[in-house]
């Protein structure tokens, strides 16, 4: 069967699939989930590895999806994750994961051997007390060990995701830049988005792309790298010591080139991170639906994608789910 690109009504071709494998996490990050009252999905509501594989296979074989990233919650706490990785690696895609890194010291090589190609590690502070305040866990040392383990396992590149917030960790911009240069890892600075579980986001908390680049460029001169469909605007250090990226979802929206779609842990298909509607694939898959029926639902969902999320405008509608429930 010939591959037909997955195209929305605005002509955007979608080739990047983000799969959340669990809504659970071993941290309780302030901007991901509330300190109390979080209700986890019952195990039977989560897609099985076989169900995830079926949806992913349809997207790869029918629509040419060539990049898959596993997210959560925290994906590494899903039991037997290397089994899922081996199944998806067989689809011959660029397979990566986003993790908080807390268990990577023991898992990095296992994930690499299973077929994982790239890894993104989320870390928002190098200060121990600040890290505890943000994650409600005293595990900074474990995350740093996980970064070293990922590098040692041969992942290339290893990327760090740092959500920058005014008055919270914005004073660590240069610390992240230095760390990346010294460790040989790529830092991706992410603007704080209105997906925090407690709904306290405001535009005043955002550290903009302009501020990030201005601060780092003053210490370590940067030059831009040509933009792709990837979410990050990239810059290389003039002295050749690596690069950084900025995901400017708020101050410089990249909706016009976005090529990502998402599958939640409970089998809901989302055509945008900020979508307010979801398309139920779990019911289809569990009813024994054919690949044609699944493909029809996928096509319907992508055709319904809007032009952009409109963050900061009066027309913006906040999704009902927080980041930990959607997946990054």
Three-state helix/strand/coil letters over 98-120: EECCCCHHHHHHHHHHHCCCEEE
SS3 category, 246? strand
pLDDT, one tens digit for every residue, the chain (328 residues): 668 899 998 899 999 999 999 987 766 665 565 555 566 788 899 999 999 999 999 999 999 999 999 998 899 999 999 999 999 999 999 999 999 999 999 999 999 999 999 999 999 999 999 999 988 899 999 999 999 999 999 999 999 999 999 999 999 999 999 999 999 999 999 988 655 555 565 677 889 999 999 999 999 999 999 987 778 899 999 999 999 999 887 777 767 778 889 999 999 999 887 777 899 999 999 999 999 999 999 999 999 988 765 555 555 555 566 555 666 5
Q: Where exactly are the structural domains of the chain?
A: 6-326
Kindly provide the b/e burial profile for residues 24-33, where b requires at least 16 CB atoms within 10 angstroms of the residue's own CB. bbbbbbbbbb
Q: Is 291 exposed, middle or buried (0-12, 13-18, 19+ CB in 10 A)?
A: middle
Helix (H) and strand (E) counts for the chain?
Answer: 10, 14
State which fold the 6-326 domain adopts. TIM Barrel (3.20.20)
Start-to-end C-alpha separation, the chain? 31
| Radius of gyration over every alpha carbon of the chain, rounded to an integer in angstroms | 19
For residues 237 and 7, give the distance between their C-alpha atoms in angstroms, rounded to a whole number.
Answer: 35
pTM of full prediction above 0.85: yes
SS3 content of the chain, % helix, strand, coil (to 5): 35, 20, 45
Kindly provide the b/e burial profile for residues 165-174, where b requires at least 16 CB atoms within 10 angstroms of the residue's own CB. bbebbbebbe
Beta bridge partners of residue 165, listed in sequence order: 206
């Amino acid at each position: 069967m010939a591959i037909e690109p997955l195209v929305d009504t605005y002509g955007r071709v979608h080739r990047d699939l983000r799969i959340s494998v669990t809504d659970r996490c071993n941290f309780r990050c302030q901007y991901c989930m509330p300190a109390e009252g979080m209700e986890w999905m019952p195990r039977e509501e989560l897609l099985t590895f076989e169900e995830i594989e079926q949806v992913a296979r349809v997207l790869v074989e029918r629509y040419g999806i060539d990049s898959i990233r596993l997210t959560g919650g925290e994906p590494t706490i899903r039991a037997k994750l290397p089994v899922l990785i081996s199944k998806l690696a067989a689809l011959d895609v660029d397979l990566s994961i986003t993790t908080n890194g807390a268990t990577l010291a023991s898992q990095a090589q296992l994930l690499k051997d299973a077929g994982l190609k790239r890894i993104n590690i989320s870390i928002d502070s190098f200060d121990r007390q600040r890290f505890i305040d943000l994650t409600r866990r005293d595990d900074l040392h474990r995350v740093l060990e996980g970064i070293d383990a990922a590098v040692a396992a041969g992942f290339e590149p290893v990327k760090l995701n740092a959500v920058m917030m005014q008055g919270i960790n914005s004073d660590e911009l240069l610390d992240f830049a230095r760390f990346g240069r010294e460790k040989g890892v790529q830092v991706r600075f992410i603007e704080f988005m209105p997906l925090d579980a407690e709904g306290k986001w405001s535009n005043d908390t955002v550290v903009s792309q302009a501020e990030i680049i201005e601060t780092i460029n003053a210490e370590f001169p940067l030059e831009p790298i040509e933009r792709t469909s990837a979410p990050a605007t990239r810059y290389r250090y003039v002295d050749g010591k690596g690069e950084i990226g900025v995901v400017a979802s708020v101050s410089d929206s990249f909706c016009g080139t976005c090529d990502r779609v998402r599958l939640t842990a409970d089998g809901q298909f989302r055509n945008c991170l900020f979508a307010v509607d979801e398309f139920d694939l779990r019911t289809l898959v569990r009813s024994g639906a054919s690949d044609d029926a699944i493909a029809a639902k996928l096509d319907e969902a992508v055709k319904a994608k809007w032009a952009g999320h409109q963050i900061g405008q009066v027309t913006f509608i906040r999704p009902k789910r927080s980041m930990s429930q959607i997946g990054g």
